[in-house]
Amino acid sequence: MPGDSHSNGVRVWLVERTYSDDEQNLIILTYATPDGEQYYRKERALTSFTDVRDTTAAVDTEPDNLGSVNDADLQEQYAAEAQRMQEVHDPDDVI
């Protein structure tokens, strides 16, 4: 898709934020391409209030860091949310 590739990699948009079932204080951020076909997952420890790292609407990642979304329903969900985020937020908006 034109406009989705940048010199820093592929732009992906935040589609899901969940807490880990296995570990306390671990948040999982899932970003996806606007077509919902690929995703990028970041895990972040919520160690303290002084450890502030902003979660942005979009990030750029290397193509090698992307996984494929093989479930059609999930792909549709990710595409809808990524497109919604793209429409209402600038990439560097803090979410």
Provide the strand spans (E) within the chain: 5-6, 9-19, 26-32, 38-45, 58-61, 67-68
pLDDT at 51: 55
pLDDT at 48 exceeding the cut of 80: no
| Cα(77)–Cα(73) distance, integer angstroms | 6
- Which residues lie below 8 Å from residue 67, measured CB to CB, with a gap of 6+? 38, 39, 40, 41
pLDDT, averaged across the chain? 87
Domain boundaries, the chain: 5-88
